[in-house]
Chain A
Amino acid sequence: MLDIKNLSASVGGAEILHDLSLSVGTGEVHAIMGPNGSGKSTLAQVIAGRDDYDVTAGSVTLDGEDLLELDPEERAREGVFLGFQYPVEIPGVNNAYLLKAAVNAQRAHRGLDEIDVFEFLKLAKEKMALLGMDQKFLNRGVNEGFSGGEKKRNEILQMAMLEPRLAILDETDSGLDIDALKAVAHGVNALRSPERSIVLVTHYQRLLDYIQPDHVHVLSGGKIVRSGDKTLATELEERGYDWLKEAANG
């Protein structure tokens, strides 16, 4: 599904990702862990197409298609979804309006007609129920005045509506209390499917108690320094990141 080969990226002349390679198979769930400043969010943003970063080397492909050539909206329509660490508040843009515009932009890309209004509402309400979200959120401004937990649920709602091939969830667990974490994890688990790959970017192992990854990678200093199965996450929780940083530098 996702193939990253020898990727280097910098911002303002400072290189943040160094020669990073990662392969995510179809239907797999990968967790990318690492200390603060290791480049986790940069990797997520580069895959989604943020133009603040310069890709200086390497390639990123989705089922063989070069993602780096595409605009962010083209990547999204092709099925790449980025769940933001800090979802943006957009006052005055109605949540339902954005969801519908997003779904329709994707449908147009696939050569489908616009979604029927009733079908859209039915679908949105179903997904909201799954996430334990009140329907009133449909008529609020996008993330406007939402609590941290509400914003993260809203991200997963958008993901559920767009049904991406590849979902990258950047620190989806940060700032959540245990109930919100469970609701978000429940939503993500419901979206696991043999056709969909999920990349969880997280600092803590806590999220992985609720969403079991197939593979765990540790990112440090802009490259992957260790990969393993879910037991690696437990080991990291016990030992911290320093031993890996040392191993990578040594």
Chain B
Amino acid sequence: MSKPDKLQSAAEQLGPDGLSDLRSRAAKKFGATGFPTTRMEDWKYTDLSIASDISVAALQDFRTDLPPSYEIPDIDAHWLVISNGSPQVGSFSAIDGVEVSLLSEADVDLQFNLPLSDLNLALLSDGLRLTVDSGVNIDKPIGILFFDDADTESLVSQGRVIIDVSKSASVQVIEFHATRGDARKYANVFVDLNIGDNARVDYARLQARDPSAVQTARLSVAAGRDATLRHFALDTGGKLVRNDLAIDIAQTGANVDFNGLYLADAMQHVDNHTRVDHRVGPAHSNQEYRGIVKGRAVWNGKAVVHEGADGTDAQQANHNLLVAERAEINAKPELEIYAEDVKCSHGTTVGQLDENAVFYLRTRCLDEEQARRLMTHAFAMGVAHRCPIDACTAWVDAHVDAALNALITEDAE
């Protein structure tokens, strides 16, 4: 039996239900394209063969009856759990001003040129739709926990969430990724975030999967008129991680600020692709990603200012600290401007710690390791402090601290 057949039969196994037809169409479409390959410009530096291998192994004996398993992070939030790809509806408690429902076929459709979305829909047991009522201000963050647990058998899991934030509402969302167990896991997650006119979303994507996990995740944002987005992404885990953030500005007055921090240890590969489409102006986008890299990392930031999007202000920055001889970063800023009267800039740096500063700190009694640790930490916190959700701050601080210490301490060995 070839792999497309396995996919088709796994898709069937998940039904019959309201999504059966969609799964079948998606499986057929993915069967024809397969995973993106490094021959594609967007995937040049990230090889998904390992995701493909894990999928093949998982589909060999595909299971739809995995028991739920998860640990809620130590962050005060209304948690919604998706465990091994299945929304744990029974565990949800009501949130005032937010309607939570399972996806129906009317909510989603196949997308052009996104094979991973097809894979996601083919194997999606179910997804979530969150609707935030207009004008409300949700009291504490809504946390969406993607938790995968596999001890012995390879696991492939799909997550899909659609978040509609109605007009003038204000909400904080945490997208949290974690795992348990030693088996190989591949998670493929899609989140759509639609921000209504004059609404505000603070968003934190925190990824702390185990060092053998593979993740592909895409967050697509549509910003309404005068909408505000403050976004922060943290990646410390995963063997191979690819995140896409696509922001579409089709209404004037949008203000989006997205930042990220990635730590890539020797055996890790972390790829962040961002794209912001300015279709109208005035609107403002600003991004800064920072990386501390011992293994491999990719950052590709693209801003497209479409014809007529006058008054666009688009800023992007990416700074990388390489902490090992063999560390590798592929950093690529891209600006495409087809409008007049725009303010755009980009800057990328790749380097080591400033030795002059290390010496300065040593003359102030700090030993060399302490000096390097302090500077590396300061570099990381420079962007981690932009996490817009206060409820996450303590977790982010402690987690970055621990991850950095692990990264630097191994160095000393």
Binding site for B on A (CB under 8 A): 48-50, 71-73, 75-77, 81-82, 84, 87-93, 98, 101-103, 105-106, 109, 141, 158, 162
Q: A203 vs B58: C-alpha distance in the bound complex, in angstroms?
A: 74
On whether the beta carbons of A93 and B375 are closer than 8 Å, the reply is: yes
27 CB < 8 A contacts A-B: A49-B362, A71-B368, A72-B359, A72-B362, A72-B363, A73-B367, A73-B368, A77-B365, A82-B363, A84-B363, A87-B360, A88-B354, A88-B356, A88-B357, A89-B357, A90-B361, A90-B378, A91-B378, A92-B377, A93-B361, A93-B374, A93-B375, A98-B364, A98-B366, A101-B365, A158-B364, A162-B365
On whether the beta carbons of A105 and B362 are closer than 8 Å, the reply is: no
- Which B residues are CB-close (under 8 A) to A103? 365
Q: A72 vs B367: C-alpha distance in the bound complex, in angstroms?
A: 8
Cβ contacts B206-231/A at 8 Å (1 or 0 each): 00000000000000000000000000
CB nearest neighbor in B for A81:
B363
> Known: A90-B378, A91-B378. Is A101-B360 also a contact (CB below 8 A)?
no
- Which B residues are CB-close (under 8 A) to A88? 354, 356-357, 360
CB nearest neighbor in B for A168:
B363
A-B contact count (CB 8 A): 71
On whether the beta carbons of B365 and A76 are closer than 8 Å, the reply is: yes
Q: A109 vs B364: C-alpha distance in the bound complex, in angstroms?
A: 13
Q: Which of A50, A89, A93, A98 touches B359 (beta carbons < 8 Å)? A: A50
Q: Which of A75, A92, A162 touches B382 (beta carbons < 8 Å)? A: A92
Cβ contacts B350-388/A at 8 Å (1 or 0 each): 000010110111111111101000110111011000000
- Which B residues are CB-close (under 8 A) to A71? 362, 367-368
- Which A residues are CB-close (under 8 A) to B354? 88
On whether the beta carbons of A92 and B381 are closer than 8 Å, the reply is: yes
Q: A72 vs B357: C-alpha distance in the bound complex, in angstroms?
A: 13
- Rank and list the top 10 A-B pairs by shortest CB-CB distance, nearest first: A92-B378, A105-B365, A72-B362, A88-B360, A102-B364, A76-B365, A102-B365, A73-B362, A93-B378, A92-B382
Q: A114 vs B364: C-alpha distance in the bound complex, in angstroms?
A: 16
- Which A residues are CB-close (under 8 A) to B362? 49, 71-73, 76
CB nearest neighbor in B for A105:
B365
- Tell me how far the C-beta of B98 lies from the nearest C-beta in chain A, rounded to whole angstroms: 36
> Known: A88-B354, A88-B356, A88-B357. Is A76-B378 also a contact (CB below 8 A)?
no
Q: A76 vs B365: C-alpha distance in the bound complex, in angstroms?
A: 5
Q: Which of A87, A92, A103 has the most CB of B within 10 A?
A: A92
Cβ contacts B286-308/A at 8 Å (1 or 0 each): 00000000000000000000000
Other than the given A90-B360, A101-B366, 19 more pairs (CB < 8 A) read: A49-B363, A50-B359, A71-B367, A72-B359, A73-B363, A73-B366, A73-B368, A75-B363, A76-B363, A76-B364, A84-B360, A92-B378, A93-B361, A98-B361, A98-B366, A105-B365, A109-B365, A162-B364, A162-B365
The number of chain B residues with a CB under 8 A from chain A is 21
CB nearest neighbor in B for A101:
B366
> Known: A90-B375, A92-B382, A101-B374. Is A48-B363 also a contact (CB below 8 A)?
yes
- Tell me how far the C-beta of A182 lies from the nearest C-beta in chain B, rounded to whole angstroms: 25
Q: A26 vs B9: C-alpha distance in the bound complex, in angstroms?
A: 88
Q: A32 vs B357: C-alpha distance in the bound complex, in angstroms?
A: 25
On whether the beta carbons of B365 and A73 are closer than 8 Å, the reply is: yes
Q: A207 vs B231: C-alpha distance in the bound complex, in angstroms?
A: 51
On whether the beta carbons of A105 and B366 are closer than 8 Å, the reply is: yes
- Tell me how far the C-beta of B319 lies from the nearest C-beta in chain A, rounded to whole angstroms: 11
Q: A92 vs B378: C-alpha distance in the bound complex, in angstroms?
A: 5
- Which B residues are CB-close (under 8 A) to A75? 363
Q: A153 vs B362: C-alpha distance in the bound complex, in angstroms?
A: 19
On whether the beta carbons of B370 and A101 are closer than 8 Å, the reply is: yes
Q: A158 vs B363: C-alpha distance in the bound complex, in angstroms?
A: 11
- Which B residues are CB-close (under 8 A) to A49? 362-363
- Tell me how far the C-beta of A68 lies from the nearest C-beta in chain B, rounded to whole angstroms: 15
Q: A76 vs B366: C-alpha distance in the bound complex, in angstroms?
A: 9
Q: A98 vs B375: C-alpha distance in the bound complex, in angstroms?
A: 11
- Tell me how far the C-beta of B359 lies from the nearest C-beta in chain A, rounded to whole angstroms: 6
Q: A201 vs B375: C-alpha distance in the bound complex, in angstroms?
A: 29
- Tell me how far the C-beta of B40 lies from the nearest C-beta in chain A, rounded to whole angstroms: 37
Q: A87 vs B357: C-alpha distance in the bound complex, in angstroms?
A: 9
- Tell me how far the C-beta of B356 lies from the nearest C-beta in chain A, rounded to whole angstroms: 6
Q: Which of A72, A84, A89 has the most CB of B within 10 A?
A: A72
- Which A residues are CB-close (under 8 A) to B368? 71, 73
Q: A217 vs B362: C-alpha distance in the bound complex, in angstroms?
A: 28
Q: Which of A73, A87, A162 has the most CB of B within 10 A?
A: A73
Q: A141 vs B378: C-alpha distance in the bound complex, in angstroms?
A: 10
Q: A75 vs B366: C-alpha distance in the bound complex, in angstroms?
A: 11
- Which A residues are CB-close (under 8 A) to B365? 73, 76-77, 101-103, 105-106, 109, 162
- Which B residues are CB-close (under 8 A) to A109? 365
> Known: A72-B362, A88-B356. Is A105-B367 also a contact (CB below 8 A)?
yes
- Which A residues are CB-close (under 8 A) to B366? 73, 98, 101-102, 105
> Known: A71-B368, A98-B364, A101-B374. Is A92-B379 also a contact (CB below 8 A)?
yes
CB nearest neighbor in B for A99:
B364
Q: Which of B364, B365, B366 has the most CB of A within 10 A?
A: B365
CB nearest neighbor in B for A45:
B359
- Which A residues are CB-close (under 8 A) to B357? 88-90
- Which A residues are CB-close (under 8 A) to B370? 101, 105
Q: A89 vs B356: C-alpha distance in the bound complex, in angstroms?
A: 10
- Which B residues are CB-close (under 8 A) to A141? 378
- Tell me how far the C-beta of A99 lies from the nearest C-beta in chain B, rounded to whole angstroms: 8
Q: A103 vs B356: C-alpha distance in the bound complex, in angstroms?
A: 21
- Which B residues are CB-close (under 8 A) to A84? 360, 363
Q: A84 vs B362: C-alpha distance in the bound complex, in angstroms?
A: 13
- Which B residues are CB-close (under 8 A) to A87? 360
